Amino acid sequence: MSHIRTRLAAAAVAVLAGASALAAAPSASAETTVTAVAGEQGVYRVTGPDALNSAWDLCKDGQTCFWQNANAGGWIWVVPYCGLNNVPGWFNDRASSVWNRGGGPAEIYAGYDRSGYMGTVARWWRGNLASAHNDRLTSVDVRCGS
Ligand SMILES: [Ca+2]
């Protein structure tokens, strides 16, 4: 878990570094920030010009990531562990896109503790959740090693 946090922190630094480079250009003034949300394990608030779209690169190899909005937009939840994870409170029923770069397929559920199975996100798949699954994710089981 700690390495996941470290890796995302490194990603945040990279994003900030990129923003700094952009800031050197005359027309760029905004920057993207990634901030851990207190009390919500694995949830990061993303703000700035890239926050609404295409923040796929915040998800690193080995991680399973969900975003608040379609197309990797909005806040991100990096699933902290292999196996069962209940979605942290703020993120509950908000996930709209996913990139599964984790250790195995990710089963997604509409209820806590693997209740209300909705489907399985294949390893390496990324994209928007089906409309029937949009804003319904409450628990996920990342089946690492399978
Ligand atoms: Ca959403």
Q: What is the pLDDT of residues 55-101, one digit of tens each?
A: 898 999 999 999 999 999 999 999 999 999 999 999 999 999 999 99
Dist. CA 69 → ligand 1 center (Å): 4
Dist. CA 139 → ligand 1 center (Å): 15
Angle at 36 between CA 32 and CA 38, to 5 degrees: 140
Dist. CA 75 → ligand 1 center (Å): 9
* CA dihedral sign of residues 22, 42, 5, 80: negative
Asked if 145 and 127 count as a contact pair (C-beta separation under 8 A), the reply is no
Environment class of residue 55 by beta-carbon count within 10 Å: exposed (0-12), middle (13-18) or buried (19+)?
A: buried
Dist. CA 80 → ligand 1 center (Å): 20
How does pLDDT run across 17-68, given as a tens digit for each residue? Answer: 444 444 443 333 467 788 899 999 999 988 876 666 678 989 999 999 999 9
Q: How far apart are CA 99 and CA 30, in angstroms?
A: 26
What is the percent of the chain with per-residue pLDDT over 90, rounded to a whole number? Answer: 64
Dist. CA 95 → ligand 1 center (Å): 5
Dist. CA 79 → ligand 1 center (Å): 16
Environment class of residue 42 by beta-carbon count within 10 Å: exposed (0-12), middle (13-18) or buried (19+)?
A: buried
Query: What's the predicted TM-score (pTM) here?
Result: 0.76
What single DSSP character describes residue 8? Answer: H
Domains and CATH numbers, the chain: 2-142 (2.60.20.10)
Dist. CA 82 → ligand 1 center (Å): 23
Dist. CA 23 → ligand 1 center (Å): 30
